[in-house]
A and B are shown apart, each in its own frame.
Chain A
Amino acid sequence: MSVLAIAEHRRGELRLVSLEQLAAGRDLVDDLGGELHTAVIGGDVETFGAKLNREGVDTVHTVDVGEEFNHDVYTQVVTQLAEEVEPTVLLMPNSVNGLDYAPAVANRLDRPLVTDVVGVDAEDGLTATRELYGSKVETTIDVHAEQAAVTVRPAEWPTIETDGDAAIEAFDATVDESAVRSTVKGFEEVGGGDVDITDADVLVSVGRGIEEEENLDIIYDLAAALDATVAGSRPLIDNGWLEKDRQVGQSGKVVTPDVYIAIGISGAVQHVAGMKGSETIVAINTDPNAPIFDIADYGIQDDLFEVVPALTERFR
Chain B
Amino acid sequence: MKILVTVKEVAAVDDEFEIDGLEIDDRYVTADLNEWDEYAVEEAVQIKEAGDDVEVVTVTIGPSETDETIRQALAKGADRAVRVWDEALEAAGLLDPETKAEVLAAVAAEEDPDLVLTGVQSADDGFGATGVTLADKLGMEWGAVVNDLDLEAGVASVHRELEGGVEELTDIELPAVLTIQTGINDPRYASLRGIRQAQSKELAEYDLADLGLDAAGIASPLEQTSLYEPETEGEATVFEGSPEETAAELAALLEEKGVTN
Contact = CB atoms under 8 A, between A and B. Distances in A.
B261 A226 contact: yes
Given A137-B19, A143-B222, A295-B234, 10 more contacts: A96-B145, A104-B136, A107-B98, A138-B228, A141-B94, A142-B222, A142-B223, A182-B173, A251-B162, A315-B251
Contact of A116 (B16, B127, B130, B157): B127
A184 B227 contact: no
Interface residues of A, number: 98
Dominant SS at the A interface?
mixed
B86 to A, nearest CB: 20
Interface string A125-161: 0010011111111111111110000010000000000
B200 interface: no
B167 A188 contact: yes
B234 to A, nearest CB: 4
Interface in B118-135: 120, 123-133, 135
Contacts of A75: 136
5 contacts: A100-B145, A138-B230, A250-B164, A286-B15, A300-B250
B49 interface: no
Interface in A72-113: 72, 75, 94-97, 99-104, 106-108, 112-113
Interface residues on B, range: 35 or more
A307 interface: yes
B163 to A, nearest CB: 5
A102 B165 contact: no
A188 B132 contact: no
Interface of A: 10, 69, 71-72, 75, 94-97, 99-104, 106-108, 112-116, 127, 130-145, 151, 181-190, 202, 225-228, 234-235, 237-240, 244-245, 247, 250-254, 258-259, 280, 282-283, 286-287, 289-290, 293-303, 306-307, 310-311, 313-316
Interface stretch (B66-74, B106-114, B239-247): B239-247
B169 interface: yes
B197 interface: no
Interface stretch (B55-63, B76-84, B207-215, B252-260): B252-260
Given A100-B144, A102-B129, A133-B124, A127 B234 contact: no
Given A181-B172, A283-B236, A299-B239, A259 B19 contact: no
B97 A188 contact: no
Contacts of A71: 142, 144
Nearest to A315: B261
B172 A297 contact: no
A146 to B, nearest CB: 10
Nearest to B186: A240
B98 to A, nearest CB: 7
B91 to A, nearest CB: 15
A97 B162 contact: yes
A299 B128 contact: no
Interface in B27-51: none
B230 to A, nearest CB: 5
B132 A296 contact: no
**Most chain-A Cβ atoms within 10 A of its Cβ — which of B130, B163, B232, B257?**
B163
Leading 10 A-B pairs by shortest Cβ distance? A310-B247, A314-B251, A238-B183, A306-B243, A103-B132, A100-B144, A112-B221, A103-B129, A294-B234, A104-B136
A311 B250 contact: yes
A307 B247 contact: yes
Contacts of A238: 182-183
B165 A251 contact: yes
Contacts of A130: 126
B96 interface: yes
Contact of A10 (B11, B162, B238): B162
A11 B221 CA distance: 37
Contacts of A139: 22, 224-228
A75 B144 CA distance: 13
Contacts of A293: 232, 234, 236, 238
Contact of A280 (B123, B135, B257): B257
Contact of B247 (A228, A286, A296, A311): A311
Contacts of B171: 182-183, 185
B96 A253 contact: no
A142 to B, nearest CB: 5
Given A107-B98, A287-B15, A315-B261, A302 B163 contact: no
A183 B61 CA distance: 32
A114 B136 CA distance: 17
Contacts of B179: 99
**Most chain-A Cβ atoms within 10 A of its Cβ — which of B133, B225, B247, B258?**
B247
B197 to A, nearest CB: 27
Contacts of B236: 283, 293-294, 296-299
A94 B97 CA distance: 15
